[in-house]
């Protein structure tokens, strides 16, 4: 029996590493017939168990055959030695399989630890960046608050130094004044004419006094 465990162990380890890689994009070509790392390890353990059971059956068959021979003791010892050799080889394969599985699990745990550390570092970096931005905003607000009184004082000083412009006076409405003057003159003339008319009318109504004899 030739040991075929080492290639399978390498396949199991490679399969475990491949399982850590990102999944292929949707629609990409895949090989569903390729077994996973867990399936390969399970198949190896099943094979080792089957080889061990077959070694036991072969030993029992050889032991029965030895009783049919003249040199029973030597025959049984040879069968036992062969069984020990087969079982020892299977045990070495099993130990190597366990070691490969432990290495694969350790690699997976290391990958998960590195992923958690990277996520924590990313969050810490975001927190530091937010803190720096908040601090910068506070400094800008403080600078603006300090600069505002100075700007107000400067504006007030400029206003005090700027001479005030006199308010424009409205030019008198000459046309309106002339119309009012003409209207007063007309009213006065009309009133004067009315007085003369009344005086003339009063003279007509007065009878002359009789001449004394």
In a domain, 187, yes or no: no
What average pLDDT does the structure give for the chain?
Answer: 78
24 has pLDDT over 60: no
Q: Spell out a b/e string for 151-162, using b for 16 or more CB atoms within 10 Å of the CB, else e.
A: eeeeeeeeeeee
| Joined tokens for residue 22 | 């990102």
| Count of structural domains, the chain | 1
| Phi, psi (rounded to 5 degrees) for 71 | -90, 80
The dihedral of CA 61, 67, 70, 72: what is its sign? positive
- What is the tens place of the pLDDT at every residue in 111-150? 999 999 999 999 999 999 999 999 999 988 888 887 777 6
In a domain, 54, yes or no: yes
Say if residues 106 and 13 touch (Cβ distance below 8 Å). no
| Joined tokens for residue 95 | 């130990």
Say if residues 100 and 12 touch (Cβ distance below 8 Å). yes
In a domain, 171, yes or no: no
Rounded to whole angstroms, how far apart are CA atoms 125 and 131?
Answer: 10
- What is the tens place of the pLDDT at every residue in 89-101? 999 999 999 999 9
Kindly state the average pLDDT of the residues 67-71. Answer: 81
Domain with 77 in it: 5-18+36-161
The pTM assigned to this predicted structure is 0.43
In a domain, 105, yes or no: yes
What are the angstrom distances between the C-alpha of 7 and each of 19, 44, 57, 88, 165?
A: 18, 11, 27, 19, 102
Say if residues 16 and 107 touch (Cβ distance below 8 Å). yes
Q: Spell out a b/e string for 41-77, using b for 16 or more CB atoms within 10 Å of the CB, else e.
A: beebeebbeebbeebeeebeebeeebeeeeeeeebbe
Considering only 98-112, 119-133, 162-176, 190-204, which range has the smallest mean pLDDT?
Answer: 162-176
Q: Is 179 exposed, middle or buried (0-12, 13-18, 19+ CB in 10 A)?
A: exposed
């Amino acid at each position: 029996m030739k040991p075929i465990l080492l290639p399978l162990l390498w396949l199991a380890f490679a399969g475990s590493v491949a399982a850590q890689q990102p999944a292929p994009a949707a629609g990409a070509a895949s090989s569903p017939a390729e077994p996973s790392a867990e399936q390969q390890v399970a198949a190896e353990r099943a094979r080792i168990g089957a080889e061990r059971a077959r070694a036991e059956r072969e030993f029992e068959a050889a032991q029965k055959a030895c009783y049919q021979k003249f040199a029973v003791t030597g025959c049984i010892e040879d069968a036992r030695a062969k069984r020990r050799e087969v079982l020892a080889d299977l045990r070495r394969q099993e130990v190597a399989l366990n070691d490969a599985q432990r290495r694969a699990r350790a690699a997976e745990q290391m990958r998960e630890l590195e992923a958690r550390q990277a996520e924590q570092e990313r969050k810490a970096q975001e927190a530091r960046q937010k803190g720096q931005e908040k601090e910068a905003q506070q400094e800008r607000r403080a600078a603006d608050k300090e600069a505002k009184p100075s700007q107000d004082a400067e504006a007030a000083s400029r206003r005090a130094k700027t001479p005030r412009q006199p308010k424009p006076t409205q030019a008198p409405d000459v046309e309106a004044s002339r119309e009012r003057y003409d209207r007063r003159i007309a009213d006065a003339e009309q009133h004067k004419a009315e007085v003369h008319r009344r005086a003339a009318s009063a003279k007509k109504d007065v009878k002359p006094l009789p001449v004394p004899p």
